[in-house]
């Protein structure tokens, strides 16, 4: 019996249209087998680059329809979705450039050395090849940039891997639209349409990670969901890499000096960051360590003013709304914890949210001492998805260190420093930076973690549970997830790919007998 | 109650000396905590390079004692162990060079771009940092090169990670000697002795992978043992990467043309490769696809002559001997399978093996048709550790392909081609190469997989169960296993490591705004 997949408007709770039916085991098997047939054609790097650029172009051509559909399904708003579409197209083109350049192939060539010790060295030529069919699990909170046409898909296609995307139930219609665009781009690039295949449904996601022909998976979502899939990937007869981005508290430390110098600016900046997109960013600052005392009080006052002025917003779906309201209430109810701006239901009449479905941003304040040891206050060290942050007041360096030592892994960690601390380095600031480095994959000074630039040097990942591996899901090196090295020994030129032949006919950056080749100024 | 750890002579079965006692949970905890204290000091790349070079020097200075001890414990013989020690010292120095150069830090710098679309780009500087304490599980068959001072340890130290080695019970005295050398080298390099800590015992190995402060593990050994540890690593509250090299059949395909051109040479070469080190190499060719017909008959005749002339050898321990004898007998007993040279007990008087503990190399022959479908003959597709190989006669390309399609992942796959096939490429040879590439991490033409050169372009790994990840345990890129990237955003120069500062004061190869820097000819 086919289970219908509905597109739902979170502003009204009403079903918009039936998009598809959920895929059972047989449909998932068919999807994976179809995608697997595209693998040989994807060996053509030129076709991959055309596919990625073509997809970016089609996405821009269809922007009006895609954005309207995504807004109707997610309530994220047209301005935000317009930016997300531009980011997604930029990302697709960035991976096309990476495919063209070929540095990601990591070519290393060692010519034979009969005089090598302890034994003669044969001719060895190593590069990286695609892993096979990649399963991508779309995120709720980015219907484009971390979903069907997002970073996981773009990097997997760039690597030469066909993709089966499991759509997120919060935006099935957007997913179907985008999958159609990608499939059209594949055909236009001379590749099979099944280079990208879309499936819907919870069971489909479970089946996908277990399918023998699936070689790797990318996931953005919750800790329980991601961990269950990670466990399934590890428990397979043939385990596969599972690149999950699960959860992150994104701690922020405001030093005494920073609070003394610019408490108001930091308080207002924090309000802007934790309420952005209704707090539905994986990089939302969820724990802010702020000095006790007068300067910290000024910061809190500024935060109260700015957060109190932030408008209500509609969350992605009723389950998230419910979890947010429960989570906010439980945190505010802890003894000694105060809520200067009470997060909760927006009530009727909020500009963004008709019919009382909107929520109001807020924040709570706790003492650092409460977090020094495991106990009931550990709830404050768990991510609460939505527009809520936790301010923790610390009295001295020891209290600050004690709280930081209790944190799990994070995508980001931020320090707001005094001007002299930043300029001089060393001392307490250096110690703080070392501690934050141990906690996260991206460390920021005097900034806010929301907003993840698509750049070669980006790293969007961190110690568990931020990610389940050491990889990134944003930036150029995200392509590394979908490749494995192969070395050819004493293989005649006629049987080698151009990238591995003497003279470098493919013109890719390589390392040959220790020297760098084809790596001039870019 | 302390369980003693004995060094045993496999040639006599007699206990040589008590080396240590097995480590329980408390001793493992103490070992890991001790190693963890060395982490900060290892941030000094210069000290790491000194440690690695110093260890190589001490190993060479102590060569006589180390080799004599290893030979007494493993029966691998002085010539082989002399070569292995040279290889191990070479490997340590190769990683010192890698540490000095700094390319492994993968530095990528993107300067800020306020005009970037869709949003302004901040200053981002990415490099890689050590993961933390690494657990290394020593291999039975390489008491030096894949054990205490071996590739896993060398690459982890090069990455800046302290190491706790779990000794292999087949060579505890060699392990203790080598751990002592490494600890002395650490102190001489200005590092804590506990940069390397040794533990013994099965339970110690289980505790080690579960310890909260262990951040990654390297393993070389059997499929059941490695998979159990892999599962434990994945099941931790905070999962850690487990880099296991488990098992490999190392298929070899001899084409019709190759057999026609040089059947005798290939048969003799195969005998040399599968009997090398008494067949106790993870790269032993364990399945050899040979044409049916007269040319294949000539190959088999040559193999029979050469393998029949190979002397007996003593395996590493009684359990391996028993498994080998059982495995060889079970394969030879399959209906239709013949054993032109019967593997088995050497009987009394073998030159290398007194007291009847030696075994005789041998091989069996089966028809490809028997392997086309799952069934009793699947035993022939499992690795049999020791001096045995399986020759499979195929009648045509379809039979060859059917067998290859049934193989699990391998460390290596080899093709012996005719001169024209190799020179012209394309056609059946190219198809064969593509198929072998799908099966393995190293593909060889006209060679033998035993002997794994330590080189930048080496890849010693492959699809599961060859390895549990896409990484290598031999060659320069083995260092990548023990690192994770961190990106610094808008971080003032005074707080950045030299490697990430403008002007490149550390002189490491980097990518800056897309251009390669410090990557002149090596």
What mean pLDDT do residues A45-73 have? 98
How do residues A355-372 score in pLDDT, each as one tens digit? 568 999 999 999 999 998
Q: Chain B contact for A495, CB < 8 A?
A: yes
Alpha-carbon gap, residue A184 to A341, rounded angstroms:
49
Q: Chain A contact for B354, CB < 8 A?
A: no
pLDDT at res. B520: 56
Are B441 and A483 in contact (CB < 8 Å)?
no
pLDDT at res. A119: 83
Tokens representing B20 are 């240590």
* Torsion sign (Cα): B184, B186, B188, B190: negative
Are B241 and A469 in contact (CB < 8 Å)?
yes
Tokens representing B32 are 């890991």
Q: Which of A443, A477, A485 comes nearest B491 by C-beta?
A: A443
Which residue is listed with tokens 């055309």? A50
What mean pLDDT do residues A167-194 have? 98
Closest A-chain CA to B423:
A494
The catalytically annotated residue of A245, A383, A399, A499 is A245
What mean pLDDT do residues B25-52 have? 98
For residue A484, the chain B residues in CB contact (below 8 A) are 441, 461, 463, 470
Q: Is the ipTM of this complex over 0.90?
A: yes
Q: Which of B430, B453, B483 comes nearest A122 by C-beta?
A: B453
List, in order, residues 6 or more apart from B419 with CB less than 8 Å away.
B257, B261
Q: Which of B442, B464, B516 comes nearest A238 by C-beta?
A: B464
Which residue in B393, B405, B408, B449 sits closest to B431, CA to CA? B405
- How many residues in chain B? 522
Are A110 and B456 in contact (CB < 8 Å)?
yes
Alpha-carbon gap, residue A252 to B92, rounded angstroms:
41
- Number of A/B CB contacts below 8 angstroms equals 246
* Torsion sign (Cα): A404, A405, A411, A417: positive
Closest B-chain CA to A234:
B234
Are A457 and B110 in contact (CB < 8 Å)?
yes
Q: Give B119 to chain A, closest Cα distance, Å.
A: 8
Q: How far is CA A273 from the centre of its chain?
A: 17
Whether the predicted pLDDT of A401 surpasses 50:
yes
Confidence label for B353 from pLDDT (cuts 50, 70 and 90) = very low
Rounded to the nearest integer, the mean pLDDT of chain B is 96
Are A485 and B477 in contact (CB < 8 Å)?
yes
List, in order, residues 6 or more apart from A228 with CB less than 8 Å away.
none
Q: How many CB atoms within 10 Å of residue B78?
A: 12
Whether the predicted pLDDT of A144 surpasses 90:
yes
Whether the predicted pLDDT of A173 surpasses 80:
yes
Q: Chain B contact for A522, CB < 8 A?
A: yes
Whether the predicted pLDDT of A349 surpasses 50:
no
Residue pair A461/A441 in contact (Cβ under 8 Å)? The answer is yes
Q: From residue B210, give the alpha-carbon distance in Å to each of B131, B135, B167.
A: 16, 10, 17
Best B103, B118, B436 residue to mutate vs chain A (most A CBs within 10 Å): B118
Whether the predicted pLDDT of A218 surpasses 60:
yes
What mean pLDDT do residues B71-82 have? 97
Alpha-carbon gap, residue A482 to A485, rounded angstroms:
10
Residue pair A106/A477 in contact (Cβ under 8 Å)? The answer is no
Are A459 and B519 in contact (CB < 8 Å)?
no
3-class secondary structure, A216: strand
3-class secondary structure, B246: coil
How do residues B127-177 score in pLDDT, each as one tens digit? 999 999 999 999 999 999 999 999 999 999 999 999 999 999 999 999 999
pLDDT at res. B428: 96
Alpha-carbon gap, residue B417 to A490, rounded angstroms:
12
Q: Chain A contact for B117, CB < 8 A?
A: yes
What mean pLDDT do residues A161-189 have? 98
For residue B219, the chain A residues in CB contact (below 8 A) are none
Q: Which of A441, A487, A494 comes nearest B487 by C-beta?
A: A441
Q: Which of A425, A477, A521 comes nearest B495 by C-beta?
A: A425
For residue A443, the chain B residues in CB contact (below 8 A) are 486-489, 491
Q: Give B419 to chain A, closest Cα distance, Å.
A: 10
Q: Which of B463, B464, B492 comes nearest A445 by C-beta?
A: B492
Whether the predicted pLDDT of A100 surpasses 90:
yes
Interface of B with A in 192-251 (CB under 8 A): 230-231, 234-235, 238-239, 241
Burial (CB < 10 A; 0-12, 13-18, 19+), residue A258, is buried
Rounded to the nearest integer, the mean pLDDT of chain A is 96
Best A128, A431, A457 residue to mutate vs chain B (most B CBs within 10 Å): A457
pLDDT at res. A356: 66
Burial (CB < 10 A; 0-12, 13-18, 19+), residue A26, is exposed
For residue B119, the chain A residues in CB contact (below 8 A) are 83, 87, 451, 453
Closest B-chain CA to A431:
B495
List, in order, residues 6 or more apart from B227 with CB less than 8 Å away.
B244, B246, B465, B468
Alpha-carbon gap, residue B140 to A96, rounded angstroms:
46
Are A442 and B487 in contact (CB < 8 Å)?
yes
Are B457 and A487 in contact (CB < 8 Å)?
yes
Tokens representing B294 are 């007269």
Confidence label for A1 from pLDDT (cuts 50, 70 and 90) = confident
Are A453 and B424 in contact (CB < 8 Å)?
no
Beta bridge partners of B198: B165
* Torsion sign (Cα): A48, A49, A53, A54: negative
DSSP annotation of B475 reads: S
The catalytically annotated residue of B84, B161, B256, B282 is B282
Alpha-carbon gap, residue A244 to A209, rounded angstroms:
12
Confidence label for B356 from pLDDT (cuts 50, 70 and 90) = low
Taking each helix axis from N to C end, the angle separating B294-309 and B256-275, rounded to the nearest 10 degrees, works out to 10
Alpha-carbon gap, residue A437 to B160, rounded angstroms:
15
**Helix H or strand E encompassing B15:** strand B14-21
Q: Which of B189-216 are b and which e, b meaning 16 or more Cβ less than 10 Å from the residue's Cβ?
A: bebbbbbbbbbbbebbbebbbbbeebbb
How do residues B405-429 score in pLDDT, each as one tens digit? 999 999 999 999 999 999 999 899 9
Alpha-carbon gap, residue B82 to B70, rounded angstroms:
10
Are B124 and A458 in contact (CB < 8 Å)?
yes
Q: Give A265 to chain B, closest Cα distance, Å.
A: 17
Threshold 0.95, pTM exceeds: yes
pLDDT at res. B344: 92
Q: Chain B contact for A429, CB < 8 A?
A: yes
Share of chain B above pLDDT 70, in %: 97
Whether the predicted pLDDT of A320 surpasses 60:
yes
Are B491 and A451 in contact (CB < 8 Å)?
no
Q: Chain B contact for A433, CB < 8 A?
A: yes
Are B433 and A485 in contact (CB < 8 Å)?
no
Q: Give B97 to chain A, closest Cα distance, Å.
A: 11
Q: Chain A contact for B422, CB < 8 A?
A: yes
Residue pair A171/A17 in contact (Cβ under 8 Å)? The answer is no
Q: Parallel, antiparallel, or unpaired for β B133-137 and B163-166?
A: parallel
Backbone torsions φ then ψ of A229, nearest 5 degrees: -70, -40
Annotated catalytic residue A282: yes
3-class secondary structure, A486: strand
Are A489 and B117 in contact (CB < 8 Å)?
no
**Helix H or strand E encompassing A209:** helix A202-210
Whether the predicted pLDDT of B350 surpasses 60:
no
Q: Which of A104-113, A283-292, B343-352 is predicted with the least confidence, judged by mean pLDDT?
A: B343-352
What mean pLDDT do residues A389-413 have? 97
Annotated catalytic residue A245: yes
Q: Chain A contact for B522, CB < 8 A?
A: yes
Whether the predicted pLDDT of A521 surpasses 50:
no
Q: Which of B87, B108, B489 comes nearest A443 by C-beta?
A: B489
Q: Which of B86, B459, B495 comes nearest A445 by C-beta?
A: B495
pLDDT at res. A351: 44
Tokens representing B348 are 């009394």
Alpha-carbon gap, residue B294 to A456, rounded angstroms:
58
Q: Chain B contact for A338, CB < 8 A?
A: no
Residue pair A146/A17 in contact (Cβ under 8 Å)? The answer is no
> Helix/strand/coil (H, E, C) string of A293-354?
CHHHHHHHHHHHHHHHHCCCECCCCHHHHHHHHHHHHHHHCCCCCEEEECCEECCCCCCCCH
Q: Give B208 to chain A, closest Cα distance, Å.
A: 19
Q: Give B23 to chain A, closest Cα distance, Å.
A: 28
Residue pair A278/A493 in contact (Cβ under 8 Å)? The answer is no
Are A490 and B522 in contact (CB < 8 Å)?
no
What mean pLDDT do residues A395-408 have? 97
Q: Which of A457, A490, A520 comes nearest B445 by C-beta?
A: A490
DSSP annotation of B113 reads: B
pLDDT at res. A353: 44
Alpha-carbon gap, residue B187 to B58, rounded angstroms:
12
Which residue is listed with tokens 């190293």? B442
Q: Give A41 to chain B, closest Cα distance, Å.
A: 13
* Torsion sign (Cα): B338, B340, B341, B347: positive
């Amino acid at each position: 019996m086919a289970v219908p997949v509905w597109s739902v408007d979170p502003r009204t709770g009403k079903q918009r249209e039936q998009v598809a039916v959920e895929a059972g085991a047989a449909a998932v098997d068919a999807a994976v087998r179809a995608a697997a047939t595209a693998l040989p054609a994807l060996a053509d790097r030129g076709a991959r680059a055309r596919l990625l650029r073509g997809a970016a172009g089609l996405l821009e051509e269809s922007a009006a329809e895609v954005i309207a559909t995504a807004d109707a399904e997610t309530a994220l708003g047209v301005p935000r979705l317009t930016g997300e579409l531009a980011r997604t197209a930029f990302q697709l083109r960035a991976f096309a450039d990476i495919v063209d350049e070929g540095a990601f192939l990591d070519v290393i060539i060692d010519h034979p050395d009969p005089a090598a010790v302890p034994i003669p060295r044969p001719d060895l030529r190593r590069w990286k090849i695609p892993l096979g069919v990649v399963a991508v699990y779309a995120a709720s909170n980015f219907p484009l940039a971390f979903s069907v046409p997002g970073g996981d898909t773009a990097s997997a296609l760039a690597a030469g891997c066909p993709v089966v995307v499991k759509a997120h139930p919060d935006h099935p219609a957007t997913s179907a639209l985008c999958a159609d665009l990608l499939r059209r781009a594949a055909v236009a690039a001379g590749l099979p349409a099944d280079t990208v295949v879309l499936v819907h449904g919870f069971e489909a996601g479970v089946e996908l990670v277990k399918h023998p022909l699936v070689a790797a998976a990318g996931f953005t979502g919750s800790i329980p969901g991601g961990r269950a899939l990670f466990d399934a990937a590890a428990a397979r007869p043939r385990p596969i890499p599972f690149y999950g981005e699960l959860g992150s508290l994104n701690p922020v430390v405001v030093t005494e000096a920073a609070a003394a110098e610019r408490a108001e600016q930091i308080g207002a900046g924090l309000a802007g960051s934790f309420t952005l997109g209704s707090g539905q960013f994986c990089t939302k600052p969820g724990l802010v360590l702020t000095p006790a005392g007068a300067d910290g009080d000024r910061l809190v006052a500024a935060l109260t003013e700015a957060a109190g002025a932030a408008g209500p917003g509609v969350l992605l779906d009723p389950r998230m709304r419910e979890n947010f309201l429960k989570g906010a209430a439980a945190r505010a109810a802890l003894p000694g914890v105060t809520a200067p701006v009470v997060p909760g239901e927006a009530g009727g009449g909020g500009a963004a949210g008709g019919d009382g479905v909107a929520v109001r941003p807020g924040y709570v304040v706790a003492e650092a001492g409460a977090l020094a040891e495991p106990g009931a206050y550990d709830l404050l060290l768990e991510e609460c998805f939505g527009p809520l942050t936790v301010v923790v007041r610390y009295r001295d360096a020891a209290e600050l260190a004690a709280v930081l030592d209790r944190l799990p892994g994070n995508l980001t960690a931020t320090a707001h420093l005094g001007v002299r601390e930043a300029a001089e380095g060393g001392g307490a600031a250096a110690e703080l930076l070392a501690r934050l480095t141990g906690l996260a994959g991206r460390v920021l000074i005097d900034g806010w973690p929301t907003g993840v630039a698509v750049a070669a040097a980006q790293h969007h990942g961190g110690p568990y549970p931020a990610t389940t591996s050491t990889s990134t899901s944003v930036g150029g090196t995200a392509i590394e997830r979908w490749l494995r090295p192969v070395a050819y020994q004493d293989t005649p030129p006629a049987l080698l790919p151009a990238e591995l032949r003497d003279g470098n006919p493919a013109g890719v950056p390589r390392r040959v007998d220790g020297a760098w080749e084809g790596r001039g100024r870019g």
